[in-house]
């Protein structure tokens, strides 16, 4: 069960139970939906921008503990960040989960490092990255819902 | 060195005539090599049989034997191997016909699986017989494979789906069913046993009522054939579809049973080799049933594997296996009811070994991952039956689905895994 504790860390369980920024932003400058058709996980991401900066962010949706906690911690991480910084976070997060050789700056990852254990559960990686893909779609003003499958 | 004749006689069908010993789960488990393996350092507890069943040694050996000793294309060539391949392919068709008590092996069409079987009916019978304003009756508990092909046909033709609702136990509302018929009803297409709820639908009664209205019936038997004997003539349905892989045969092979009088008047499915009588650029004549529905080189090995699975089921006292499974289901129901905050989805009076449930507000994916660490394989998600999820207002469910090789120890491992889930999620 030690492996499972690596996956379901207290921080993840906490954000699953009490997700932060779990709300609709109205009005929102940007909005996008993400969908995992294989499991039915759904996430909606709302953004308010101030110039190049994410002034506020909210999300809604339903999914497993990993996807919900990931969305919650994502909103905490990128609130107030510039779009450039957000893109760096996205890339680092994805590299942490999918590229074993990635040389990440752990301090830079901050709380997001709590998801490093997901790498050992290939079936769950898309749960963790769904909200990040939706965030990117919102930033890029993608109108149609994005999915984890091609 | 075997002579070609020996190769023919080395076939396993003799197994079918050997009187079956009374069902014994320990002996049967030894027939399934994969059940001996460890997952995550724990003995495998395979409870995802609704998705696909494991294969007995006899099926694996039949595939190996075919490719080692018999491989050639069928219905072509005059050479030895082609004749052998054709014989074993057609022998498999006869085994299927006997297995489901079809009147003739001409009524057995080999397809990829239940999904292709249903699409075949929609694309042939459906496209010819169903037009604007017509109606197709399905149920609220269909797998997507018995919704989407009809929905696509309705879109194309301007026809409509009428849906038999179900109650909260997961049983069809038969009173409503009676009221759904109109002069426009052209087909009833219903699931025999629900892949999520385990409900055994009253298909005999459903067929009788449809016939009273002069409407033909298709039954999706994907989840029925692994659990009980099916007699298509007793059911009286015009069409019956099922997949090999859910009944211990390989993937990629399935069966569409069609009543001969229907098949003979239906247009072909795909065009190509094997399904024609003659071809020139001005005129093409199609072959007869079943060939006209089997264009191209079929899944020969798959059909032989399916035949071997049928022989295997006949050799183990399949009726005894079904009884054993019913007992195991009762044990599993009682065991799951003792897990706090667990809610069973599907509590029909007549059901088979399918146990879908929610556990508090813990998402099924998390349940599935944690169970996997205990070596317990279950399915988590919407099970390709989103209307059922909608009925119970849940995004997803966890499903443990049984086969006759499962044991009480398997159920105990599931329950103990569920206690671990609750512990982690506090």
Give the pLDDT confidence of B296-346 residue by residue, as tens digits: 999 999 999 999 999 999 999 999 999 999 999 999 999 999 999 999 999
3-class secondary structure per residue, chain A? CHHHHHHCCHHHHHHHHCCCCCCCCCCCCEEEEEEECCCCEEEEEEEEEECCEEEEEEEEEECCHHHHHHHHHHHHHHCCCEHHHHHHHHHHHHHHHHCCCCCCCHHHHHHHHHHHHHHHCHHHHHHHHHHHHHHHHHHCCCCCCEECCC
Give me the helix-helix angle, B148-157 and B114-121, nearest 10°. Answer: 20
* pLDDT tens, residue by residue, A22-64: 999 999 999 999 998 777 789 999 999 999 999 999 999 999 9
Q: Do B362 and A65 touch (CB under 8 A)?
A: yes
Q: Do A39 and B365 touch (CB under 8 A)?
A: yes
Give dist(CA B178, CA B282) in Å, integer. Answer: 48
Q: How far apart are the first and last CA of chain B?
A: 66
Confidence of residue B426 (pLDDT cuts 50, 70, 90): confident
Residue B178: count other Cβ atoms within 10 Å of its Cβ.
12
Residue A109: count other Cβ atoms within 10 Å of its Cβ.
18
Decide: helix, strand or coil at residue B220: strand
Decide: helix, strand or coil at residue B140: coil
Decide: helix, strand or coil at residue B58: helix
Please name the helix (run of DSSP H) or strand (run of DSSP E) that holds residue B26, with its range, or none: helix B25-29
Chain A contact for B395, CB < 8 A?
Answer: yes
Q: How far apart are the first and last CA of chain A?
A: 34
Q: Which of B373, B386, B395 sits opposite A3 (nearest CB)?
A: B373
**Beta-bridge partner residues of A35:** A42, A147
pTM of the model: 0.92
Statement: residue A2 has pLDDT above 50: no
Give dist(CA B173, CA B178) in Å, integer. Answer: 9
Q: Among residues B154, B237, B259, B384, which one is catalytic?
A: B384
Chain B contact for A123, CB < 8 A?
Answer: yes
- For residue B308, give the nearest of B64, B83, B6 by alpha carbon: B64
Query: Choosing among B42, B358, B364, B365, which should be mutated to test the A contact, i.e. which has the most A CBs within 10 A?
Result: B365
The reported pLDDT for the residue numbered A40 is: 76
Chain B contact for A4, CB < 8 A?
Answer: yes
Question: Taking the mean position of all CA atoms in its chain, how far away is CA B288?
Answer: 26
The reported pLDDT for the residue numbered B17 is: 52
Is there a contact between B399 and B380 (Cβ–Cβ < 8 Å)? yes
CA distance A128 to chain B (A): 12
Q: Which of A42, A62, A65 sits opposite B366 (nearest CB)?
A: A65
* pLDDT tens, residue by residue, B396-420: 999 999 999 999 999 999 999 999 9
Statement: residue A1 has pLDDT above 90: no
Give dist(CA B381, CA A62) in Å, integer. Answer: 12
Give dist(CA B146, CA B62) in Å, integer. Answer: 31
- For residue B87, give the nearest of B103, B75, B101, B105 by alpha carbon: B75
Q: Scan residues 271-330 of B and list those with Cβ closer than 8 Å to A.
A: none
Told to judge if B384 belongs to the known catalytic residues of this protein, a careful annotator would answer yes
Decide: helix, strand or coil at residue B381: strand
Residue A18: count other Cβ atoms within 10 Å of its Cβ.
10
* pLDDT tens, residue by residue, B157-196: 999 999 999 999 999 999 999 999 999 999 999 999 999 9
Q: Return all residues near B165 (Cβ < 8 A) that are at least 6 apart.
A: B140, B172, B173, B176
Is there a contact between A65 and B363 (Cβ–Cβ < 8 Å)? yes
Residue in chain A lying closest to B367 (CA): A64
Give dist(CA A12, CA B235) in Å, integer. Answer: 52
Is there a contact between B192 and B220 (Cβ–Cβ < 8 Å)? yes
Q: Do A1 and B420 touch (CB under 8 A)?
A: yes
Give me the helix-helix angle, B364-373 and B408-424, nearest 10°. Answer: 120
Q: Which of A4, A39, A65 sits opposite B396 (nearest CB)?
A: A39
CA distance A115 to chain B (A): 14
| Residue B298 half-sphere exposure toward CB, CA atoms < 13 A | 31
Mean per-residue pLDDT, B108-117: 98
Decide: helix, strand or coil at residue B337: helix
ipTM surpasses cut 0.85: yes
Give dist(CA B263, CA B293) in Å, integer. Answer: 9
CA distance A44 to chain B (A): 15
Strands A146-147 and B284-286: unpaired
Q: How many helices (H) and strands (E) does chain B have?
A: 17, 17
Rounded to the nearest integer, the mean pLDDT of chain B is: 94
Confidence of residue B6 (pLDDT cuts 50, 70, 90): very low
Q: Which of B365, B373, B396 sits opposite A4 (nearest CB)?
A: B373
Chain A contact for B425, CB < 8 A?
Answer: yes
Statement: residue B381 has pLDDT above 60: yes
Give dist(CA B10, CA B256) in Å, integer. Answer: 28
Q: Do A38 and B381 touch (CB under 8 A)?
A: yes
The token duo for A61 is 């949706």
- For residue B388, give the nearest of B138, B117, B122 by alpha carbon: B138
Is the model more confident about A148 or about B314?
B314
* pLDDT tens, residue by residue, B84-96: 999 999 999 999 9
Query: Choosing among B196, B369, B421, which should be mutated to test the A contact, i.e. which has the most A CBs within 10 A?
Result: B369
* pLDDT tens, residue by residue, A57-111: 999 999 999 999 999 999 999 999 999 999 999 999 999 998 878 777 777 788 9
What count of residues does chain B have?
A: 426
CB–CB contacts below 8 A, A to B: 52
Chain A hits for B395, Cβ within 8 Å? 40-42, 62-63
3-state helix, strand, coil in chain B (%, to 5): 45, 20, 40
Q: Render the burial of B120-159: b for 16+ CB within 10 Å, e for the rest.
A: bbbbbbbeeebeeebbbbbbbbbbebbbbbbeebbeebeb
* pLDDT tens, residue by residue, B13-71: 444 455 678 899 999 999 999 999 999 899 999 999 999 999 999 999 999 999 999 99
- How far is it between the farthest Cα atoms of chain A? 47
Q: Scan residues 73-92 of A and list those with Cβ closer than 8 Å to B.
A: none
The reported pLDDT for the residue numbered A100 is: 77
Strands B108-111 and B254-258: antiparallel
Give dist(CA B133, CA B135) in Å, integer. Answer: 7
Q: Do B363 and A65 touch (CB under 8 A)?
A: yes
Residue A6's Cβ-count burial label (10 Å; 0-12, 13-18, 19+) is: middle
Q: Do A39 and B389 touch (CB under 8 A)?
A: no
Confidence of residue B11 (pLDDT cuts 50, 70, 90): very low
The token duo for B144 is 């997507």
Query: Choosing among A7, A35, A39, which should be mutated to test the B contact, i.e. which has the most B CBs within 10 A?
Result: A39
Give dist(CA B81, CA B68) in Å, integer. Answer: 11
Give dist(CA A119, CA A122) in Å, integer. Answer: 6
CA distance A11 to chain B (A): 12
| Residue A104 half-sphere exposure toward CB, CA atoms < 13 A | 23
Query: Choosing among A6, A11, A12, A65, which should be mutated to test the B contact, i.e. which has the most B CBs within 10 A?
Result: A65
Q: Give, in order, the Cα–Cα distances in Å from B93 to each of A51, B17, B110, B253, B293.
A: 69, 17, 8, 12, 14
Statement: residue B12 has pLDDT above 70: no
Q: Which of B369, B381, B389 sits opposite A124 (nearest CB)?
A: B369
- How far is it between the farthest Cα atoms of chain B? 73
Give dist(CA B238, CA B261) in Å, integer. Answer: 9
Q: Which of A40, A68, A123 sits opposite B382 (nearest CB)?
A: A40
Chain A hits for B366, Cβ within 8 Å? 8, 64-66
């Amino acid at each position: 069960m030690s492996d499972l504790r690596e996956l379901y860390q207290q921080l993840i369980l906490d954000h699953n139970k009490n997700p932060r920024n779990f709300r609709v932003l109205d009005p929102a400058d940007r909005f996008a939906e993400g969908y995992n058709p294989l499991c039915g996980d759904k996430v909606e991401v709302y953004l308010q921008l101030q110039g190049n900066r994410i002034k506020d962010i909210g999300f809604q949706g339903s999914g497993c503990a990993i996807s919900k906690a990931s969305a919650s911690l994502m909103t905490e991480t990128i609130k107030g960040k510039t779009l450039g910084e957000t893109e760096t976070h996205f890339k680092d997060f994805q590299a942490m989960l999918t590229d074993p050789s990635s040389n990440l700056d752990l301090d830079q990852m901050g709380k997001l490092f709590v998801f490093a254990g997901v790498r050992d559960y290939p079936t769950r990686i898309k749960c963790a990255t769904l909200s990040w893909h939706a965030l990117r779609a919102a930033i890029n003003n993608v109108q149609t819902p994005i999915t984890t499958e091609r | 060195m075997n002579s070609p004749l020996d190769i023919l006689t080395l076939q396993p069908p003799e197994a079918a005539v050997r009187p079956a010993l009374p069902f014994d789960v320990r002996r049967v488990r030894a027939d399934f090599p994969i059940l001996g393996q460890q997952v995550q350092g724990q003995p495998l507890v395979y409870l995802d049989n609704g998705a696909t069943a494991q294969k007995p040694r006899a099926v694996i050996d039949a595939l190996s034997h075919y490719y080692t000793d018999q491989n050639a294309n069928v219905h072509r060539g005059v050479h030895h191997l082609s004749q052998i391949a054709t014989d074993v392919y057609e022998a498999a068709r006869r085994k299927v016909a006997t297995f489901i008590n079809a009147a003739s092996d001409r009524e057995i069409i080999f397809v990829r699986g239940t999904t292709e079987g249903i699409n075949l009916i929609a694309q042939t019978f459906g496209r010819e017989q169903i037009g604007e304003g017509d109606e197709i009756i399905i149920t609220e508990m269909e797998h997507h494979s018995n919704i989407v092909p009809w929905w696509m046909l309705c879109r194309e033709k301007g026809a409509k789906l009428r849906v038999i609702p179900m109650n909260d136990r997961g049983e069809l509302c038969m009173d409503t069913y009676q009221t759904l018929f109109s002069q426009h009803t052209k087909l009833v297409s219903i699931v025999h046993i629900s892949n999520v709820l385990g409900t055994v639908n009253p298909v005999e009664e459903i067929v009788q009522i449809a016939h009273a209205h002069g409407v033909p019936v298709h039954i999706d038997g994907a989840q029925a054939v692994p659990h009980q004997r099916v007699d298509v003539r007793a059911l009286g349905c015009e069409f019956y579809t099922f997949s090999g892989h859910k009944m211990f045969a390989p993937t990629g092979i399935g069966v569409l049973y069609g009543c001969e009088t229907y098949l003979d008047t239906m247009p072909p499915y795909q065009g190509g080799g094997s399904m024609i009588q003659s071809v020139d650029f001005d005129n093409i004549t199609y072959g007869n049933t079943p060939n006209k529905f089997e264009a191209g080189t079929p899944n020969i090995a798959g059909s032989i594997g399916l035949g071997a699975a049928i022989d295997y089921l006949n050799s183990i006292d399949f009726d005894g296996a079904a009884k054993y499974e019913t007992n195991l289901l009762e044990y599993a129901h009682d065991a799951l009811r003792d897990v706090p905050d667990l809610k069973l989805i599907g509590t029909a009076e007549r059901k088979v070994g399918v146990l879908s449930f929610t556990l508090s507000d813990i998402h099924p994916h998390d349940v599935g991952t944690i169970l996997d660490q205990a070596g317990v394989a279950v399915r988590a998600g919407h099970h390709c039956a989103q209307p059922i999820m909608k009925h119970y207002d849940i995004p997803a469910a966890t499903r443990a689905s049984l086969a006759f090789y499962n044991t009480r120890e398997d159920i105990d491992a599931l329950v103990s895994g569920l206690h671990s889930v609750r512990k982690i999620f506090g």
